[in-house]
Structure 1
Amino acid sequence: MNTLISTSITKITVMINGEPFVCIQNTSLASLLNYLDFDFRQIVVEYNSEIIAKDKLTMIQLQNQDIIEIVTIVGGG
């Protein structure tokens, strides 16, 4: 007897800088930032009203309705 195993992918919506963004549930915050092509050395990330240290970005798994603010640091004079 053949059994078909169904793997469903759960999509969620998170808010990034005030805009909705659809991704796969449990994507890490670091993976999202990589996908969006951010340079980790030049950003500050706020996740659900808490500033996140860069070494913690891989530990955070995104959930539906999370709020992410990304600020790019720009040098200048």
Structure 2
Amino acid sequence: MQITVNGEAREVPADLSLEQLLVDLKIPGREGVAVALNLRVVRRQERQGLQLSEGDRIDIVTAVGGG
């Protein structure tokens, strides 16, 4: 199925969860990461059971420390 991740179209398996997408994208530790699905922020504990659907838009933002 086709989804959009940070503005880029991707082909992914039909049974993919949001959490598995983050693992596949090698998002390090998934701590300090904000994820929105179709413009709705998804809490970390919701990600595992949330199945993606055709046409979903996922936005991933990673916090970066600095000084």
Query: 1:42 Cα shift?
Result: 2.4
The answer to whether structure 1 residue 67 and structure 2 residue 57 are counterparts is: yes
Identity among equivalent positions (%) equals 32
- Counterpart of 1:34, as a letter, is V
Tell me which protein shows more helix as a share of its residues. 1
Aligned-residue RMSD, C-alpha? 0.7
Residue in structure 2 matching 1:32, options 15, 21, 24: 21
SS in 2 for 1:58: coil
Aligned residues: 66
SS in 1 for 2:58: strand
Could you tell me the TM-score, scaled by structure 1's length?
0.82
- The Cα offsets for residues 31-62 of structure 1, whole Å up to 9 and x where unpaired, read as 01001000210210001110010011001101
Tell me the residue number matched to 1:19.
8
Higher RCO (CA 8 Å, separation ≥ 6 residues): 2
- Listed as ranges, the gaps of 5+ residues in structure 2 are none
- Listed as ranges, the gaps of 5+ residues in structure 1 are 1-11
For the pair shown, the structure with the greater C-alpha radius of gyration is: 1
Structure 1 distance, partners of 2:51, 2:15, is 5
